[in-house]
Amino acid sequence: MEFTRELLRGRRPEPIPVWLRKAHEIVSERFVRPLGLRLLAREVGVHPAHLARSFRSAYGQSIGELIRHLRVEHVKTRILEGASLSAAAMEGGFADQSHMTRTFASATGMTPSAFRRAFGVRRTDSRPSSDSSGVS
């Protein structure tokens, strides 16, 4: 996005430094696990504030925004594959299903359940029967 803005202004954009591309790669690979700014900055060898500013400038979004985007996309994929919402939330790196639901709804304008219904997806994972009598 920043690249396009610079081109429209008639300026040649600065190339993205190797360390910043590495940070983006790390986030893209590890988005399902907690990833702190300090740890990420240490891994790429820069100060956390410099990383945060440079990341937003180069990619048009914060590291947190990228993580949320990647998590929501992962959850969409898992829902379309038939995973339960709770399993999709855990696999997507969310603290719990309600956290995933809030983030998903904010990002997409619909709840995960509405998303599943909109695509006519049926769950493929097994769920215990509601009949607990044990009699067949």
Q: Hey, what CATH topology would domain 67-118 get? A: Arc Repressor Mutant, subunit A (1.10.10)
- So what's the pLDDT on residue 133? 46
Angle at 94 between CA 89 and CA 95, to 5 degrees: 110
Q: Which of 101, 31, 36, 34 is nearest to 71 (CA)?
A: 31
pLDDT, averaged across the chain: 89
User: What does the domain layout of the chain look like in residue ranges?
Assistant: 2-60, 67-118
pLDDT-derived band at 67, boundaries 50, 70, 90 = very high
pLDDT-derived band at 5, boundaries 50, 70, 90 = low
* More confident site: 136 or 31: 31
Q: What is the DSSP letter of 48?
A: H
What is the distance between the alpha carbons of residues 97 and 49, in angstroms, rounded to a whole number?
Answer: 31
Q: How confident is the model over 75-110, as pLDDT tens digits?
A: 999 999 999 999 999 999 999 999 999 999 999 999
- Stated pTM of the model: 0.81
User: Does the pLDDT of residue 134 top 50, yes or no?
Assistant: no
pLDDT-derived band at 14, boundaries 50, 70, 90 = confident
Region of 23 please: left (phi>0), alpha (psi -120 to 50) or beta.
alpha
